[in-house]
Chains A and B, each alone.
Chain A
Amino acid sequence: MSRLIDIGLEQLSKLLFKMGELAEKTVSLSLDSYMEGLEVHEKVRIWSETLVALSEQVEEKAIELIARYQPVASDLRTIESYMKIAYDLSRYGRYAWDITFIHRRLDVSSTDCIFPSLPIKELNEKVKNIVQTSIEAVRRNDVGLAKKIGEIENEVDIVYYECLDKLVEQDRITTKCLITNLLFIRHLERIADHASYIGESIIYLVTGERISLRGRMLNES
């Protein structure tokens, strides 16, 4: 039986999927361009602002559905999760923009500061992977994929700390390069964090359980 709220829920998920697509594009463009030394600042900035606007639309729509239809159970969890995911997706955009900022403002990219021992490329690939997985998990409401995000996040953490260690070890490094690399890996790590939040939201939406994808069980009720 199709209900009044179903129309609203469909509109909400359409918005969200649109955001997901855009967020994926934004992150890919930003990360790849940084690695290749390309200037994409303006484009990414516009996309990031679009993502923020879209997340505001999602929030408004969600509140409207709550006020009008007093949703319960899975409907309520869906709306709550979508609101959170929209925010996380907008953060993807924001960090993607921050990364282009490094090149733009400091006038330097990773191609200028190559340190072979730094597993920057690996980190980059893993983060791109985790972003794609997260958006796929949203599209398919897939708990399995959401849990996979947790695994990838662990791997990201490991490489991140490796990068940090290696950075500390470097003794012949300019301040500029130090800051560049530091900022880059830091932003990548934050993107990965948000991916795990998205995974947690999907798990809550489907199962009603709130768990941390870092392995700790969070009992909210």
Chain B
Amino acid sequence: MSYKIEIEDLNAWFGNNHVLTDINMKIRENAVTAIIGPSGCGKTTLIRCLNRMHELVPGARISGRVLLDGQDVYGNGVDPVTVRRRIGMVFQKPNPFPMMSVYDNVAAGLKLNGMKDKRRLDETVEKSLELAILWDEVKKELDKSGASLSGGQQQRLCIARALAVEPEVILMDEPCSALDPTATAKIEKLIRMLGKDYTVIIVTHNMQQAARVADFTAFLYLGELVEYGDTSSVFQNPRNKLTENYITGKFG
């Protein structure tokens, strides 16, 4: 029963716009945690605060602490680059590097960080593609352009790319929203599998998806954490009336 990430009194701003207020959450290790809520409630901002991508936007800032294995990722002297190697991210629209082959895409994180050993690269690329349930489909065509794959395959490629760097946490920002139902189903299955060995945090506006894949669900509304608990309880018997109204579709 250990917590991989502990968020303490997190607040976030875009300029003067206060988008996250006093978030306190403990994310369980090796489990899938979903963050749901209506558009604009701050879900994406929240996960971008975890891997220090939020601060890349001019005028963005935070206050509070984000503890990864007990250490504040915003601590003095902590290099955001190392944080991002431990906390990987998969984005809403699949974004493979367009000028690179499938192989190069997966290896990008390693190569660009200095790994040159061809054998190790080959091994890691194969392992990552297998983890992402893409190996069988591309093993004969590793030289093909990353952009020539289908949408679902591209997203799995991006997942493989993120996995190749061997992160401990994987953040996913609405990873299936640009995909058709079949591709979505494959990725949801993949997410559940990944949840056994990685700490996965997935943002989704699709409540049924959260209900399907997540062990824990957090409901965010207007930048505040309204409810957070195990998925069964949240969806069968939510404690907060706001949560109840949102998940039964009475608003949002």
Known: A72-B207, A221-B232. A77 touches B248 (CB 8 A): no
State which residues 1-22 of A face B: CB under 8 Å.
1, 3, 5
Instruction: List, in ascending order, chain A residues with CB within 8 A of B251's CB.
Output: 1
State the CA gap A75–B238 with chains docked (Å).
12
A77 touches B249 (CB 8 A): no
B237: A residues at CB distance < 8 A: 73, 77, 208
Distance A3 CA – B207 CA, assembled complex (angstroms): 16
Find the B residue at minimum CB distance from A69.
B249
Beta-carbon contacts under 8 Å, B217-252 to A = 232-233, 235-238, 243-244, 247-251
- B244 proximity list for chain A (CB < 8 A): 73-74
Complex CA distance for A73 and B236, rounded to whole angstroms: 4
**B248–A72 CB distance below 8 A:** yes
Residues of A62-87 at the interface with B, using a CB-CB cut-off of 8 Å, are 70-77
Residues of B within 8 A of A72 (CB): 207, 211, 235-236, 247-248
What is the bound-complex CA distance between A70 and B247, given in angstroms? Answer: 11
- CA A73 to CA B207, docked complex, whole Å: 12
Query: With A and B bound together, what is the CA distance between A3 and B237 in angstroms?
Result: 20
Interface residues on B, range: 10 to 19
CA distance A3 to B243 in the complex (A): 16
A73 touches B250 (CB 8 A): no
Set of chain A residues within 8 Å of B211, measured between Cβ atoms? 70, 72
Contact A208/B236 with A70-B208, A72-B207, A72-B211 known, Cβ cut-off 8 Å: yes
CB nearest neighbor in A for B252: A1
B208 and A73 within 8 A (CB): no
Docked Cα-Cα span, A72 to B206, in Å, equals 13
Contact with B along A93-131 (1 / 0, CB 8 A): 000000000000000000000000000000000000000
Distance between Cα atoms of A208 and B235 in the complex (Å): 11
Nearest B residue (CB) for A2: B250
- The answer on a CB contact under 8 Å between A73 and B238 is yes
Q: Could you tell me the distance between the alpha carbons of A3 and B232 in the complex, rounded to whole angstroms?
A: 23
Contacts of A1 in B (CB 8 A): 249-251
Contact of A74 among B207, B232, B248 (CB under 8 A): B248
Bound: A70/B233 CA distance, A? 16
- Indicate if the CB atoms of A221 and B250 lie closer than 8 Å: no
By the criterion CB–CB under 8 Å, are A73 and B248 in contact?
A: yes
Q: How far is the CA of A73 from the CA of B247 in the complex (A)?
A: 8
Question: Are B236 and A76 in contact, with the CB atoms below 8 A?
Answer: yes
Chain A interface residues (CB < 8 Å from chain B) = 1, 3, 5, 70-77, 208, 221
14 other A-B residue contacts (CB within 8 Å) besides A5-B249, A76-B235: A1-B249, A1-B250, A70-B208, A72-B235, A72-B248, A73-B235, A73-B243, A73-B248, A74-B244, A74-B248, A77-B237, A208-B236, A221-B232, A221-B233
Binding site for A on B (CB under 8 A): 207-208, 211, 232-233, 235-238, 243-244, 247-251
Q: List 5 A-B contacts (CB under 8 A).
A: A5-B249, A72-B207, A72-B247, A73-B237, A221-B236
